[in-house]
Structure 1
Amino acid sequence: MDSDDQLRQLAQECGIHLGYHGWDGTHQTCAPPTLRALLRALDIDASTDKAIDEALQSRQAERTGRIVPTEQVVSAGETFEFALPQSCEWQVLDEAGREIQAGRGDTCLSLQPLPVGYFTLVARGADRCDETLLLSRPAHAPTIADLTERDKGWGVSGALYALNSSKNGGVGNYLDLGKTMSSLGQNGAMYFGINPIHALGWAANDTKSPYSPSHRGFLNIDHIAVDSRLAPAPDDARIDYTAFRTKHRAALEAEHRRFQNDATPHERDDFQAFCRAEGQELAQFAMFESISETHGGDFRNWPARLRQPDRTKAAPRDVFHAWLQWKANRQIEAAQSAALESGMALGLYLDLAVGARPGGAEVWMHQDLIAHGVSVGAPPDQLSPAGQSWTLAAYAPNKLSRNRYEPLRALLGKLMKQAGIVRIDHVLGLMRSFWVPEDGSPGGYISQPFEALLAVVAIEAARNRCCVVGEDLGLVPAGFRERLNASGLYSYAVWQFEGTGDGELRSARQLRPFTMACFGTHDTPTIRGFWRGRDIEWWRSIGWLSPDAAIGMHGARARQRNALRKHCAIPPSATLSDIMGAIHGELARSPAKLVTVQLDDIFGQEQAQNLPGTIDEHPNWRRRASVAVDEIAALQEVKELRNAMEPARRTRATVQNKETDPCLS
């Protein structure tokens, strides 16, 4: 076997794909430089033939020598058996380390049914002791029917930062969120979805994208409502984050000083209880924020002594940053309470971003679990011939597994505690991730522990009684959606992407049932923008399309409009308002279990919130809503929407059909 063959064998042993099929159907082979870069990201030395041989032997010896595997997914409430290569004594420990089962096995090990959760199996043989992480998962994550009295429902999605009110100073806050959800809940909406509200970082003054967070386990302080009036949002339709943050943070500082001097005993006790519950994670995050005030938001540029959390000491500003998280958490809780009190069955619908910035708090706190030297991205496609690097850090699957998936468990648990629905962005990453090496080598795919990750999602969802949607757009591997849905995760369908072979759009009646369906997202044109081809004109204006190509795309859009006219029975004389109502009504009559309407479409906005692939060419994440929060409840368009969405308010069926509910299959 030559050295390259050994390298490929080691790569496969570690879950690295030797190639993949591109968007055009051609097979792309991963060359040795890519394989070495991805192995290096896993902390596996492949620099020499000797190192490769030693790594292969070590992995094979570990796999064949164990009494029990390193991890095992089991079904909660059911017995489970392990085949044993040797006799052993064993015990099962719960998360607190208490023994709950024990025994001895010669050729097999039989476990009694376990509840939902995480357990440790300890097996002691003649000459070794092995541990197995047991992920005891529910039959499926909670469904809409499990959590509500309905089999189907609808909701609204919008940009939190865009919410417009008389006191928020220009960026929507958590108080605005509660008011908006109350208005929509009173008009029949089951949930309200917003952009990610992960922490962007105190020092990240220029960061605008909610999908480029510093830490996904903490909250964005830009949305904290302050007691002092910040003045109405400026007349400018675009948000100036720098100007806003200057006045908003001054108000936060003043409010914290008042808290230190005048807080009630109840407030002090509540803050202390919050800090105790959050524990070391909050302490380290607050420490990062404190250091960033002096040394900037990218820890890779800090003095060497500060680049590791365990080498730093607490500082007075840590308390301030912990207090900010307390404020944000309490305001999110209040917003969710307001939503539920208004009649919303699920309330908040939150987004989990793909990853965190490489120099941010999440990576600083979990450096030993990160795949270093790579970024999460996407392979080349028709819009990005060179591929995409999203400049987001990835957890190394081998390191994450060894750490019992702790960071992911904590992230999901926090998010699901706050919301009724959580959407996992780029859920394909649960099965495989595309890593782009920083050394310039082409990217490649690496497998993820799919069954274990699905189990973690289902366990956390069951514990927090939360529905989960997986954003499964793009090139989906065969069988992936079926496995996702069987685990209780809803698929995601964007109608304007649901094309047919002849360039038209398929009928909404053909959408998959176990799905959250919508016409568009923050990354796509609104209905008005779609109808008028505004996205095509943006692509042409920034040089992505030639004039001839733009004409061709407008022709293709005309075919899509004609298909929508046919599917929705839209007459030639219909206004854009009529068209929006017809599209929403048809979505409501689709088989999709969940239907989401964009707030921008309710307001009649034409421009999208984001144009993927751009940074400064398009005003991404800066468009302010044209309607004030206090006006939403009385808005005629909201009342009309309630009537249009009535077909999406079915009560729970007496007998559910396995064909429409894959969780029962």
Structure 2
Amino acid sequence: MMSADVKLQALARESGVYLEFRNLAGQKLEAEPPTLRALLGGLGISTATDAEVSEALAESQASRHGRKLPQELVLEAGSSTSIAVPTRCDWSIVTEDGDEVQTGTSSTAISISDLPVGYFLLHAAGEGWAEDLFLMSPPSHAPNLSETAGSNRCWGVCGALYGLRSRTNGGLGNYSDLGVAAAALGRSGAQFFGINPIHALGWAAAETISPYSPTHRGFFNTDHLSAASDLGPGPREELIDYAEFRAMHRAVLETEYAVFAQKSSEAEQAEFRAFCEASGEALNDFATFEALSEKHGEAFQRWPKALQAPGRQSQLEAGERATFHKWMQWRAEEQIGAAQQSATSSGMRLGLYLDLAVGPRRGGAEVWTNGNTIAEGISIGAPPDHLSPKGQSWDLAAHAPNKLSANHYQPLRSMLGSLMNKCGLLRIDHALGLLRSYWLPDDGSPGGYVSQPFEALLAVIAIEAYRNGCVVVGEDLGLVPDGFREGLNKAGLYSYAVWQYETDDQEQLVAPQDLRPFSLACFGTHDTPTMAGFWHGIDIDWWREIGWLNSNETHDRHGVRAHQRNGLRRLCELGANMDTGRIGDTIHAGLAGSQAAMIAIQLDDLFGVTEAQNLPGTINQHPNWRRRLPVPIEQFPVAASPARLRDLMPTTRNSIHENEQKGLEPCPK
């Protein structure tokens, strides 16, 4: 007879909870019973007593052995397969809209073939049994550059939307600015313009400014709405005062909505109603949450019990105020769509490059509206490593894989469709989460890993990307399990290569020719030091100022950085007296000479900015998400930095020999 702990481990194994994992040092860490119970609880499995563990294990095994058909199946579009059945049965396959596409009667196996890209439900019924099987039929791969941009290589620019300056935005970059900036960069030859996540942050979340802490990833940030009236130029200060801007901006939005509600034409009202109808219950629930949050606070767990889930009572309480939030989402979708149109009209083949954050805030709208798929009692984060000895808790919610599967991945499908409809390129942050997710229990137990349905999630991503003609990048930085990148790339997702993270055993930066070919490569991101900051070790000084490094550690890190600078000097033949602007051009030329499919250049680097947009692991110790760009968008067309990009990285991508002819120092193979 199995002991209680052995049964608990068996249940965890059945449910996809890791019994052990290895940390960055290679040490094996075993999940203790409190962790296993907490993570199983997150999956909705009760394990408070040994009797509950025994019962849950028996139910899991009975369900697995008792089914006649798999619960779900990934079948590449146009291919065929056979599914064994135990008895004679009648079966049919229907689309999402309920249209029947295949039907038959089978005695030993159901034969399926030639399904188009999409989602389907197979229903089979025999004597004494009836079951459904969810079918995902992805393309052979997500769209690639050749199919979408007409070339297997391209380059683009990334920057902070909130940091864009203009004569009219009042102090925070908006969606109209986005279109203007993208068009200017497109005319310089860029094929995409990447920005920070633009997920909804929440009307009542007064302190939230991080784009990676959204209330809902399927709706858009209204801080970036362009007002119909001119808000005037923003303050000259480098840092954004969100409270000041929001007070001014929201008063304008309230006035504009009042005018719309009272004086808009019937045609405009009809267009808004059509948008609301097409957006369905998802928009209705989101707007209800936003209206309720204004009355009861940003975290729904502290609301009256009757309002802690969508429903009739919540809608009644929200009242007409919900319409205001629907109107803002309508405006946001229109403006983002217009920005994408401006980008592509300027010559950008891909246009906007958007970002899908890891997860939503635990008290926010996405959790409130998806109570049937959210993992309870846990947050997602990262295990202890050399950068964070105690690990990291991101205070973000996770969708439980078993619940997500039971609901046919609808929350993910909806989010991806919403974003991919507005861009030509999408980055999925922390793509390792498609394979496994690190969960931290609320009860204080150590964290542990939970498996994710990798094949099914890749299928959903590929289907939604195919439907929207969107290229996908999976952020796969750091150490990843064997075969993970190969799985991503086989599904058509490009890898992500940040050059300043790509080092050898001696902590030297690798040659650009060693950057992964099927990837989007860049020197840095919003989470890393800028090129000037890297060169001068500004990030190391910040770590010392915050107290993360002592004097000796600071000295050692500056020594490593000097070692890396010398390596770059050798790789790119940098002269001893070059200024950082020329150094930046030469490093960018090195990226241009790599084999990476896509190259991304940071606006901060183009304009010589020293300080980083974000310092990971900090909240108030560093001015994260607040830095404005030094160059207003009106000057982008004539600014020297974007103008020289056409020569530095033309659409056809220079060879190293061509760069030499332009006087740019090459990075040797």
Task: Look up the match of 2:455.
Answer: 451
Are 1:602 and 2:606 counterparts? yes
CA distance in 2, matches of 1:71, 1:650: 46
Cα deviation, residue 312, structure 1? 1.4
Find the residue that maps to 1:139 and give its secondary structure: coil
Cα deviation, residue 648, structure 1? 5.5
Find the residue that maps to 1:391 and give its secondary structure: strand
2:321 alignment partner, one of 307, 317, 323: 317
CA distance in 2, matches of 1:27, 1:105: 49
1:110-159: CA deviations, max 9, x gaps? 11210000000111122111100000010000000111221100000000
Task: Look up the match of 2:594.
Answer: 590
- Where in structure 1 do 4 or more consecutive aligned residues deviate above 6 Å? none
Task: Look up the match of 1:61.
Answer: 62
Task: Look up the match of 1:498.
Answer: 502
Cα deviation, residue 258, structure 1? 1.3
AA paired with 2:164?
L
Task: Look up the match of 1:112.
Answer: 113
Are 1:263 and 2:264 counterparts? yes
CA distance in 1, matches of 2:622, 2:421: 35
Task: Look up the match of 1:74.
Answer: 75
Task: Look up the match of 2:164.
Answer: 163
1:489-544: CA deviations, max 9, x gaps? 00000000000111211001111110000000000000000000000000001100
1:189-242: CA deviations, max 9, x gaps? 000000000000100111010000000011000000102222211121100000
Task: Look up the match of 2:15.
Answer: 14
Task: Look up the match of 1:122.
Answer: 123
Q: Is the 8 A contact 2:143 2:466 kept in 1?
A: yes
Cα deviation, residue 265, structure 1? 3.0
Cα deviation, residue 86, structure 1? 3.0
Find the residue that maps to 1:313 and give its secondary structure: helix
Q: Is the 8 A contact 2:179 2:340 kept in 1?
A: yes
Q: Is the 8 A contact 1:154 1:648 kept in 2?
A: no
Where does structure 1 lack aligned partners over 5 or more consecutive residues?
Answer: 652-665
1:544-585: CA deviations, max 9, x gaps? 001111111011001111111122121112111110000111
Are 1:441 and 2:440 counterparts? no
1:155-190: CA deviations, max 9, x gaps? 000000000111111110001000000100000000
Task: Look up the match of 2:303.
Answer: 302
Cα deviation, residue 647, structure 1? 7.2
2:338 alignment partner, one of 330, 334, 338: 334
Task: Look up the match of 1:172.
Answer: 173
CA distance in 2, matches of 1:17, 1:576: 47
Are 1:247 and 2:248 counterparts? yes
CA distance in 1, matches of 2:642, 2:149: 23
CA distance in 2, matches of 1:2, 1:605: 61
CA distance in 2, matches of 1:560, 1:313: 58
Q: Is the 8 A contact 1:197 1:210 kept in 2?
A: yes
Are 1:480 and 2:484 counterparts? yes
CA distance in 1, matches of 2:288, 2:653: 47
CA distance in 1, matches of 2:315, 2:473: 40
AA paired with 1:149?
G
Find the residue that maps to 1:348 and give its secondary structure: strand
AA paired with 1:26?
Q
Cα deviation, residue 21, structure 1? 0.3
Task: Look up the match of 1:139.
Answer: 140
TM-score normalised over the length of structure 1: 0.97
Q: Is the 8 A contact 1:595 1:648 kept in 2?
A: no
1:347-387: CA deviations, max 9, x gaps? 00000000000100010001121001000100001121111
CA distance in 2, matches of 1:556, 1:229: 49
Are 1:378 and 2:382 counterparts? yes
1:234-276: CA deviations, max 9, x gaps? 1211000000000000000011111122223332221111111
Cα deviation, residue 106, structure 1? 2.1
Find the residue that maps to 2:218 and give its secondary structure: strand
Find the residue that maps to 1:92 and give its secondary structure: strand
Find the residue that maps to 2:644 and give its secondary structure: helix
1:533–1:650: structure 2 CA closer, same or farther, 3 Å change rule? closer
Task: Look up the match of 2:664.
Answer: none
Find the residue that maps to 1:649 and give its secondary structure: coil
Cα deviation, residue 641, structure 1? 2.1
Sequence identity (%):
53
AA paired with 1:197?
I
AA paired with 1:313?
Q
2:427 alignment partner, one of 423, 427, 438: 423
Q: Is the 8 A contact 1:150 1:649 kept in 2?
A: no
Q: Is the 8 A contact 1:150 1:650 kept in 2?
A: no
1:581–1:481: structure 2 CA closer, same or farther, 3 Å change rule? same
TM-score normalised over the length of structure 2: 0.96
Q: Is the 8 A contact 1:290 1:321 kept in 2?
A: yes
Find the residue that maps to 1:423 and give its secondary structure: strand
Task: Look up the match of 2:354.
Answer: 350
1:598-620: CA deviations, max 9, x gaps? 01001110000000000000000
AA paired with 2:321?
R
CA distance in 1, matches of 2:354, 2:96: 27
Q: Is the 8 A contact 1:589 1:647 kept in 2?
A: no
CA distance in 2, matches of 1:143, 1:642: 23
Aligned pair count? 651
AA paired with 2:550?
S
Q: Is the 8 A contact 2:189 2:645 kept in 1?
A: no
Q: Is the 8 A contact 2:80 2:114 kept in 1?
A: yes
1:297–1:199: structure 2 CA closer, same or farther, 3 Å change rule? same
CA distance in 2, matches of 1:188, 1:85: 60
| Equivalences for residues 499-648 of structure 1 within 5 A | 499-646=503-650
Where does structure 2 lack aligned partners over 5 or more consecutive residues?
Answer: 656-669
Q: Is the 8 A contact 1:67 1:125 kept in 2?
A: no
CA distance in 2, matches of 1:3, 1:385: 32
Cα deviation, residue 84, structure 1? 2.3
AA paired with 1:134?
L
Cα deviation, residue 650, structure 1? 7.4
Q: Is the 8 A contact 2:190 2:651 kept in 1?
A: no
Cα deviation, residue 55, structure 1? 1.0
In terms of mean alpha carbon deviation, does 506-515 or 96-105 score higher?
Answer: 96-105
Task: Look up the match of 1:43.
Answer: 44
Cα deviation, residue 96, structure 1? 1.2
Q: Is the 8 A contact 1:581 1:641 kept in 2?
A: no
Q: Is the 8 A contact 2:530 2:605 kept in 1?
A: yes
Cα deviation, residue 412, structure 1? 0.3
AA paired with 2:200?
A
CA distance in 1, matches of 2:84, 2:314: 47
CA distance in 2, matches of 1:7, 1:25: 25
AA paired with 1:528?
A
Task: Look up the match of 2:415.
Answer: 411
CA distance in 2, matches of 1:622, 1:604: 17
Q: Is the 8 A contact 2:202 2:215 kept in 1?
A: yes
Q: Is the 8 A contact 2:157 2:601 kept in 1?
A: yes
Cα deviation, residue 646, structure 1? 2.5
In terms of mean alpha carbon deviation, does 99-108 or 317-326 score higher?
Answer: 99-108
Task: Look up the match of 1:236.
Answer: 237
Task: Look up the match of 1:657.
Answer: none
Find the residue that maps to 2:315 and give its secondary structure: coil
Q: Is the 8 A contact 1:433 1:446 kept in 2?
A: yes
